[in-house]
Amino acid sequence: MTEFLQQVINSLSLGSIYALIALGYTMVYGIIKLINFAHGEVYMVGAYVGYASMSFLKLGFFESLILAMIVCTVLGVVIERVAYRPLRNSTRIAALITAIGVSLLLQYTMMFFVGPDPRAYPPMPSFMNGSIDVGGVIIKNQQILIIGVSVFLMIVLQFIVKKTKMGKAMRAVSQDPDAARLMGISVDRTISFTFAIGSALAGAAGVLVGVYYNSIKPLMGIAVGLKAFIAAVFGGIGIIPGALIGGYVIGGSETLVSSLGYSMFKDGVVFAILILILIVKPAGLLGKNRKEKV
Amino acid sequence: MNLSRRTVLGATLGVAAVAATTACSAKPGGGGGGAAPAADEIKLGLNYELSGDVATYGQASAVGIKMAIEELNAKDGVGGKKIKLVEYDNKSDAAEATTLANKLMSQDKVLACMGPATSGGFKATIPVANKNKIPVVSGSATADDVTWDGKSVQEYAFRICFNDSFQGTVMAKFAAENLKGKTAVIIKDNSNDYSKGLATAFTEEFGKLGGSIAGEEAFVAGDTDFNTILTRIKGQTFDVIYLPGYYSEAGLIIKQARDLGITAPVLGGDGFDSPKLEELGGAAALNDVYFTNHYSSIDKDPKVVEFIEAFKKANNEEPNAFHALGYDLGHFVADAVSRASELTGEAVQKAMAETKGFVGVTGTFDVDEHHNPVKSIVVIGLKDGKQATSEKVG
C-alpha cells in the first residue's frame, strides 16, 4: 500500500509536467490547427534560462521561474511571427514541416552554445530539498512544488480562457477565424497571445524539471515533447481540460508500467496508447466527432 | 580572468608539445618517414582519437604517453636510442584507425603502435597488426573480447587495462567480503553492452560467494525519472545496489534513491569516474558510493604520488585514469622494446607476451596467455562526493 501511494505521488509529479506542456500543444492546435513541434524546445530553453538565472544572476527559484516564463513567452511569440505567420494561408503540411525545422534549429543552436553534456541545476535552498514522511510514503517538497505550481498555473489559464476578454477572443478565433475577424477581433494578436501563454507554461515546466531531476540537456525536449503531444491527443487535441487529463493519464500509465517491473516498455506503452486512441476515438477522450462536409 | 588564464595555459601546453615534437625530430638522422628507421632511434606509432566523439579519452591517453616517452628520452632513451613518436588522429572513427595503422606500419615503419583508446577502434587495427607482425597495444580498450575471443588469442594485440567483466567480478567480491552484503539489487542500462556485461559478471561472482540477487531493474540511457523503479526497489530487502552505468544517469539515480530514503551502499564501475557525477548527484547524496577504477588519485603508493606530482607540474591539472593508463602504456611498450632480442615487431611482440612484474602507476602486472594484464583493481569510496578511500582488490 505504501509502495502504491508512493507511486501515485511519482505519477502525479510526472503527470503535472506532461500536462503543463500538453496545454501549450492543445491551445495552439485549437486555435490555428497547427501541431507546434517546436514546443518541446521552448520547454528546453525555459530549463536553460532557469539554470542561467540561478547560477549566473543568483536569482531565487520563483524569480527564475518567472524570468524563464517571460523569456519563453517572447520566444514563443517570435517563433510564431517569424516561422508560422508567413505560412498562415499555406497548406498544413508546410506549417508542420516548418515546425519540425524550428525545433531542430533550437536544439542545435542550444547545443552549439552549451555543449551536448548534461548540466546540473545549482543547489536549491533547504526548504525545497526536504521531504515529508507520511506513514512511509515520502513526499518531496519539490514534488509538492511541481504539483502546486502546475495546478496553480492551470487554474490561472482556465480563468484567462473562460473569464477574460482575450479568452473569449481565443475561443471565438478557434471556432471560426473569419467570423471572429468580422466581429472586430484581431486574429493575429489573439494567435500571438495563445503562443505566448502556451510557451510561458512550457518555460515553467522546464524550470520545474530542472529543479526536480537536476539534469538538463539540449535534447531534453524531444521525448517529453512527444509524450506531451500524446497527452494532448489523448484528451482530445484542442481541448484544454483534455490536455490536463491526458497529462496525468500518460504520467500515470508510465509509472504503472514501470512499477509492475516492465520499465523497458514504458515508452512503448505510451505510444501504444497513441495508436489505440487514434483507432478507437480519433477525436480524443473529450473530443466530439464532428462530421466533415464533403 | 579565468578564461584568459586557461587560454594562456593552453597556449603554453601547445608550445610545449610542439617543442617536444620538434626536439625529437631534430635529432640527427630523424628526418622524414623514410623506408628504413634511422639506426639511433626507435619509432613508435600513436593512433589516437584526438578529435571526434571520444576525443577526451584519446587526448588524455596521448598526453600520458608523451609524458612517459619524454621522461625516457631525457634519461637515455631505450638501450641508448631515443624514441620517436609518430602521431596521427583517427577522428574517433574505426575505419580511419585501420587506415592509419596500415600507414604507420608500412610507411612509417614503426616498431609498435599504441592506441586507439576505445575497444571498437582498437579492434579495427588488430587484423593490420597481425598481418604486418607489428604489435598494437591499447591502454583502455576494456571490452571482454578485444585480445581473446574465447577461442583464439589475437597474436599481435595487447592491452594493459583490466576487462569489463573483471570489474563486475571484483565488485561482487568487494560487496560480499568488504561490505558483508548478502543480497543485492541490480540497476543496469539495458541499452549498453558495457553495463549489461558488468551486471552479468557481478551476478555470477556474487552467487558463487553465497550472495543472492533480490531484484533487477533496467533503464535506458537518457532517462531522467528513476523514481518509479527506485520505489519498487525500496519495497525489497537488500544490502547493496549494483549500478553499472555512466555518470550521467548514475548521478541522477543515486540522488533520487537517497531522496527516497534508500541508504544502502551503491556500487558501480569506471563509468562513475567523472566530475559530473558529483555535479548531477549532489555531494550530500554521494556517501557510501563505491566504484571500481584503474587508479585513484589519492593512492599513497610512492610510484603514484610521484606520477601525480610530475603530471601536475607538467600539465597543471590532476591526472585522470586515462592519463595514468597512457603513461603506463608508454613505459610498457618501451620496456618491451628494451627487452626485445632485436628491433623487429616479432621480437617486441615476444617480449611483451613475456612481461612479468611490470610496475606501473595503475598497478603491478604480468601479461597472461590471453594478452591481458593480471592486475589488481582499485575500489574507490566516496564521502560527500569526494574520493575518500581507495583499496586494491583482486
What is the SS3 string spanning A243-257? Answer: HHHHHHHHHHHHHHH
pLDDT at B221: 82
Homologous superfamily of the B41-162+300-376 domain (CATH) = Response regulator (3.40.50.2300)
Rounded mean pLDDT, A246-257: 93
At A187-211, the pLDDT tens digits run 999 999 999 999 999 999 999 999 8
CA A99/CA B278 separation, integer angstroms? 37
pLDDT at B7: 45
Number of domains in chain A: 1
At A89-108, the pLDDT tens digits run 888 899 999 999 999 999 99
Q: Cβ separation of B232 and A118 shorter than 8 Å?
A: no
User: ipTM beyond 0.90?
Assistant: no
pLDDT at A293: 54
- pLDDT bucket at A290, cuts 50 / 70 / 90: low
Q: Answer with the residue of higher pLDDT: B53 or B300.
A: B300
Regarding beta strands B212-219 and B358-360, do their DSSP bridges make them parallel or antiparallel, or are they unpaired? unpaired
Contact predicate B144/B197, CB 8 Å: yes
| Cα radius of gyration (chain A) | 19
> Which positions in chain B touch A218 (Cβ < 8 Å)?
none
- pLDDT bucket at A294, cuts 50 / 70 / 90: low
Q: Cβ separation of B232 and A213 shorter than 8 Å?
A: no
Q: Does B224 touch chain A (CB under 8 A)?
A: yes
Single out the residue of B312, B248, B336 nearest to residue B72, CA to CA. B336
Rounded mean pLDDT, B309-323: 90
User: Nearest CB to B231: which of A3, A120, A209?
Assistant: A3
Instruction: Please say if the pLDDT value at position B369 is more than 80.
Output: yes
CA B101/CA B110 separation, integer angstroms? 10
Q: Domain span at residue A184?
A: 1-220
Q: Does B261 touch chain A (CB under 8 A)?
A: yes
3-class SS shares of chain A: helix, strand, coil, % to 5: 75, 5, 20
Burial of residue B157 (number of CB atoms within 10 Å: 0-12, 13-18, 19+): buried
Calculate what percentage of chain B has a pLDDT beyond 90: 58
| Parts of chain B belonging to CATH 3.40.50.2300 | 41-162+300-376, 165-293
Instruction: Please say if the pLDDT value at position B12 is more than 60.
Output: no
Least confident span in A68-72, B244-248, B342-346: B244-248
At B64-81, the pLDDT tens digits run 999 999 999 998 888 889
Q: Does B221 touch chain A (CB under 8 A)?
A: no
Asked if residue A239 is part of any domain, the answer here is: no
> Which positions in chain A touch B255 (Cβ < 8 Å)?
214
Q: Is this prediction's pTM over 0.80? A: no
Asked if residue A291 is part of any domain, the answer here is: no
pLDDT at A122: 87
Rounded mean pLDDT, B268-294: 88
Count residue pairs from A and B with Cβ separation < 8 A.
69
Rounded mean pLDDT, A120-149: 85
Q: Cβ separation of B222 and A223 shorter than 8 Å?
A: yes
Q: Answer with the residue of higher pLDDT: A124 or B126.
A: B126
Asked if residue A61 is part of any domain, the answer here is: yes
pLDDT at B243: 95
Asked if residue A141 is part of any domain, the answer here is: yes
pLDDT at A256: 92
- pLDDT bucket at A287, cuts 50 / 70 / 90: confident
Q: Cβ separation of A138 and B259 shorter than 8 Å?
A: yes
Q: Answer with the residue of higher pLDDT: A281 or B45.
A: B45
pLDDT at B39: 62
Asked if residue A5 is part of any domain, the answer here is: yes
pLDDT at B22: 43
Instruction: Please say if the pLDDT value at position A42 is more than 90.
Output: yes
For the domain covering B165-293, report its CATH number. Answer: 3.40.50.2300
Q: Answer with the residue of higher pLDDT: A134 or B328.
A: B328
- pLDDT bucket at A168, cuts 50 / 70 / 90: very high
Asked if residue A160 is part of any domain, the answer here is: yes
**What cell numbers appear for B117 in the block?**
583508446
pLDDT at A237: 85
